[in-house]
């Protein structure tokens, strides 16, 4: 504040003195310091701000005093940060979660938040990204037959029951797996080799060897050729061992197929494919004398012509015997030998065997030997036909008698020594007389 004098001249030339009393008001420059947390609002001394970043921030503000002088206020604002911590964790779904000051009941996969305070009193936010892996408790229901097994938990099981296995998932969580195993009955049966099937037979048998369990039903499914030949399928029938299959009348000798299915009450099934040959009957050939077997021609064999013939004896191939007959040159048959022929038909080229013809050595005349023998010894008799044998002693008393058939026959000689007379006769005539000496 001061007084100032100014000398001036007025318009009349006279002195004019101006005295100025000047009062000087002071200006103000003030500094304010404050501290807040990031995100808080500061309102004071004319300041109104929400800082967007942490740190020391200075603000200035120009004001007027009551006397109209400038007043500058500076705000040094310390903005303390809010701390955000992000955590990641995984657990198995076994109950509550207690970690990092979190207490979560029955947690699920989600983000969880917790607010704390820093040393400056500001918020400290903890974000927990929690992954909850599930537990696996599964039950497997399996049905098997008692000749099977199932792999469970690294082991094979074949007995009915409930089994459990504790594992760990790829996330390390417990996994309890349960096997509920039901076992049904099975059976074992082996198809046996069929006997020869002759086309003039009424039926043939399919036999099984049953080793375990019981088959209750069977079904038959013939191939197209067999069905066309007259064989009939069987859908489902009670199983009896053997299975009897009827042979169609006038069936064509050929090779056929049938699928046999056995089944039990638990629906366990086994299928048995079978190829079978229906052979020509042995009546397509005949024995002639004691050294010839010949085939009948189409007029007498059912109408078949053959493009190829191969003879067999007792199942063995006879090389070179490819004619319609077989002849033993300078030899005779042996009783009981079996002769068959593999016949290839001219019309379709199918090769099918005949059923065997069993040859018998036929006597061309009656023969008795030996005629001198011991008491109780065997007498061999060969007769061309059925007859009656009577043995008389030297007094004409009947010692023994026996009916014989065609071919070879044996008879026991009398037990007493002496001369005997043997008479072989049929209903019409005496065929042979023979003296027997028993020593």
**Which residue ranges make up each domain of the chain?**
1-81, 83-133, 136-184, 190-277, 282-358, 367-438
Q: pLDDT of 224-258, one tens digit each?
A: 999 999 999 999 999 999 999 999 998 999 999 99
CATH topology of domain 282-358: Immunoglobulin-like (2.60.40)
Print the SS3 string covering the chain.
CEEEEEEEECCCCCEEEEEEEECCCCCEEEEEEEEEECCCCEEECCEEECCCCCEEEEEEEEEECCCCCEEEEEEEEEEECCEEEEEEEEEECCCCEEECCEEECCCCCEEEEEEEECCCCCEEEEEEEEEEECCEEEEEEEEEECCCCEEECCEEECCCEEEEEEEECCCCCEEEEEEEEEEECCCEEEECCCCCEECCCCEEEECEEEEECCCCEEEEEECHHHHHCCCCCEEEEECCCCEEEECCCCCCCEEEEEEEEEECCCCCEEEEEEEEEEEECHHHEEEECCCEEEECCCCCCCCCCEEEEEEEECCEECCCCCCCEEECCCCCCCCCCEEEEEEEECCCCCEEEECCEECCCCCCCCEEECCEECCCCEEEEEECCCEEEEEEECCCCEEEEEEECCEEEEEECCCCCEEEEEEEECCCCEEEEEEEEEC
Average pLDDT over residues 89-117: 82
Q: What percent of the chain has pLDDT over 70?
A: 91
Residue 209 reports pLDDT greater than 70: yes
Alpha-carbon distances of 202 from 193, 199, 312, 404, rounded to whole Å: 19, 8, 25, 30
Of the segments 118-127, 160-169, 258-267, which one has the largest average pLDDT value? 258-267
Residue 19 reports pLDDT greater than 90: no
CATH code linked to domain 190-277: 2.60.40.10
Please tell me the CATH superfamily of domain 367-438, with its number. Answer: Macroglobulin (MG2) domain (2.60.40.1930)
Residue identified by tokens 């050929």 is 254
Q: What is the pLDDT of residue 257?
A: 96
Which one has a higher pLDDT value, 5 or 201? Answer: 201
Q: What is the pLDDT of residue 364?
A: 66
Q: What is the pLDDT of residue 82?
A: 77
Q: Which of 149, 184, 205 is nearest to 269 (CA)?
A: 184
Residue 191 pLDDT grade (very low, low, confident, very high; cuts 50, 70, 90) = very high
Query: Helix, strand, coil % (nearest 5) of the chain?
Result: 0, 60, 40
**pTM of the predicted model as reported, rounded to 2 decimal places:** 0.55
Of the segments 43-52, 101-110, 137-146, 197-206, which one has the largest average pLDDT value? 197-206
**C-beta atoms surrounding 379 within 10 Å:** 21
Q: What is the pLDDT of residue 115?
A: 76
In which element (H, E) is residue 227 found?
A: helix 224-228
The residues facing 310 across adjacent strands are 342
Residue 406 pLDDT grade (very low, low, confident, very high; cuts 50, 70, 90) = confident
Q: What is the pLDDT of residue 224?
A: 95
Q: What is the pLDDT of residue 67?
A: 62
Which one has a higher pLDDT value, 117 or 217? Answer: 217
Residue 11 reports pLDDT greater than 70: no
Of the segments 2-16, 89-103, 255-269, 424-438, which one has the largest average pLDDT value? 255-269
Residue 176 pLDDT grade (very low, low, confident, very high; cuts 50, 70, 90) = confident
Rounded Cα–Cα distance for residues 161 and 77 (Å): 77
Which one has a higher pLDDT value, 362 or 196? Answer: 196
Q: What is the pLDDT of residue 328?
A: 85
Q: Which of 28, 26, 25 is nearest to 46 (CA)?
A: 28
Which one has a higher pLDDT value, 368 or 174? Answer: 368
Residue 260 reports pLDDT greater than 90: yes
Residue 284 pLDDT grade (very low, low, confident, very high; cuts 50, 70, 90) = very high
Q: What is the pLDDT of residue 10?
A: 61
CATH topology of domain 1-81: Immunoglobulin-like (2.60.40)
Which one has a higher pLDDT value, 16 or 127? Answer: 127
Q: pLDDT of 20-56, one tens digit each?
A: 665 555 666 788 888 888 878 888 877 888 888 888 8
């Amino acid at each position: 504040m001061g007084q100032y004098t100014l000398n001036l001249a007025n318009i009349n030339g006279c002195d004019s003195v101006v005295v100025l009393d000047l009062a000087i008001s002071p200006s103000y420059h003030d500094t304010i310091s404050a501290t807040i947390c990031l995100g808080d609002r500061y309102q004071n001394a004319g300041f109104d701000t929400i800082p967007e970043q942490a740190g020391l921030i200075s603000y200035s503000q120009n004001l007027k005093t009551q006397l109209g002088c400038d007043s500058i206020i500076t705000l040094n604002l310390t903005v303390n940060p809010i701390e955000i911590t992000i955590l990641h964790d995984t657990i198995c779904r076994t109950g509550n979660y207690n970690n990092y000051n979190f207490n979560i009941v029955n947690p699920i996969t989600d983000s969880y938040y917790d607010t704390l305070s820093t040393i400056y009193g500001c918020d400290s936010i903890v974000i927990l990204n929690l992954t909850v892996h599930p537990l696996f408790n599964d039950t497997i229901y399996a049905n098997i037959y008692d000749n099977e097994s199932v792999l469970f938990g690294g082991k094979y099981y074949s007995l009915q029951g409930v089994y459990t296995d504790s594992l760990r998932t790829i996330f390390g969580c417990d996994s309890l797996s349960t096997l509920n195993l039901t076992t049904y009955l099975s059976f074992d049966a082996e198809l046996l080799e069929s006997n020869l099937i002759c086309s003039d037979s009424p039926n043939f048998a399919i036999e099984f060897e049953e080793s375990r369990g019981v088959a209750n039903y069977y079904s038959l499914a013939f191939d197209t050729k067999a069905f066309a030949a007259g064989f009939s399928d069987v859908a489902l029938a009670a199983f009896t061992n053997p299975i009897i299959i009827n042979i169609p009348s006038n069936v064509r000798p050929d090779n056929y197929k049938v699928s046999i299915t056995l089944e039990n009450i638990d629906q366990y099934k086994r299928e048995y494919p079978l190829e079978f040959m229906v052979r020509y009957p042995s009546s397509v050939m005949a024995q002639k004398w004691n050294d010839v077997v010949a085939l009948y021609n189409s007029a007498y064999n059912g109408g078949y012509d053959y493009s190829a013939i191969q003879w067999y004896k007792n199942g063995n191939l006879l090389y070179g015997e490819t004619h319609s007959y077989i002849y033993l040159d300078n030899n005779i048959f042996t009783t009981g030998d079996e002769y068959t022929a593999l016949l290839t038909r001219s019309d379709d080229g199918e090769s099918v065997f005949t059923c065997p013809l069993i040859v018998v050595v036929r006597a061309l005349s009656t023969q008795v030997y030996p005629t001198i023998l011991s008491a109780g010894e065997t007498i061999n008799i060969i007769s061309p036909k059925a007859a009656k044998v009577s043995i008389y002693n030297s007094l004409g008393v009947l010692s023994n008698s026996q009916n014989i058939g065609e071919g070879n026959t044996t008879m026991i000689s009398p037990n007493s020594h002496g001369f005997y007379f043997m008479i072989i006769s049929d209903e019409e005539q005496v065929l042979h007389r023979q003296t027997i000496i028993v020593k």
